[in-house]
């Protein structure tokens, strides 16, 4: 009978130990889930605040009146209407001159045909290199200088 009592005590002890371990695992799982949920909510709120800030900035920009800095009438009207002003650069008129390298006969002829003045420059000052498809050296120079290429043949 004492064996039965000892055996019963061991069974109860093992049952309680297993239940404690299970309960501990359940609590850890709940804690992890709560932690992840809190982190996700914090990220969501942060992203929402960023979106709201971007929207406010875009709304202000869309509602702003665009004026050239020298246009006093535009600036005055915007102020009278109580609107924000966005200063824009004066549009530059199309140039009446062309930049050409002295050795680029095609560029010189094209400028003459269009009635434009020619400004002789070094190749490094050009925005766009004029290269023949077969001119590997020109294409390499343009690539290494990070310039655009106009194919001339």
Residues 102 and 123 sit within 8 Å (Cβ to Cβ) = no
Segments in 64-100 forming alpha helices (H): 72-81
Length of the chain: 153
Separation between Cα atoms, residue 14 and residue 8, nearest integer Å: 10
Provide the residue ranges of all domains of the chain, joining segments of one domain with +: 97-151
Separation between Cα atoms, residue 22 and residue 88, nearest integer Å: 69
Q: What's 69's DSSP letter?
A: T
pTM of the model: 0.36
pLDDT by position in tens, the chain (length 153): 555 665 555 555 555 555 555 656 676 777 788 788 888 888 888 888 887 877 776 666 666 777 877 778 888 888 888 887 777 776 555 678 888 888 888 888 988 999 998 989 988 888 888 888 898 988 898 889 898 998 887
Separation between Cα atoms, residue 101 and residue 124, nearest integer Å: 10
Kindly compute the dihedral angle of the four CA atoms of residues 97, 98, 99, 104, in this order, to the nearest 10 degrees.
-140
Classify 94 as helix, strand or coil: coil
């Amino acid at each position: 009978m004492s064996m039965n009592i000892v055996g019963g005590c061991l069974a109860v002890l093992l049952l309680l130990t297993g239940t404690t371990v299970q309960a501990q695992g359940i609590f850890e799982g709940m804690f992890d889930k709560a932690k992840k949920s809190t982190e996700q909510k914090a990220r969501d709120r942060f992203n929402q605040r960023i979106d709201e800030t971007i929207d406010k900035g875009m709304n202000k920009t869309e509602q702003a009146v665009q004026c050239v800095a020298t246009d006093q009438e535009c600036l005055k009207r915007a102020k009278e209407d109580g609107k924000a002003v966005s200063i824009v650069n004066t549009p530059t008129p199309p140039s009446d001159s062309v930049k050409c390298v002295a050795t680029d006969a095609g560029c010189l002829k094209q400028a003459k045909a269009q009635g434009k003045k020619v400004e002789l420059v070094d190749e490094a000052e050009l925005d766009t290199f004029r290269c023949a498809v077969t001119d590997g050296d020109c294409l390499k120079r343009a690539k290494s200088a990070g310039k655009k290429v106009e194919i001339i043949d």
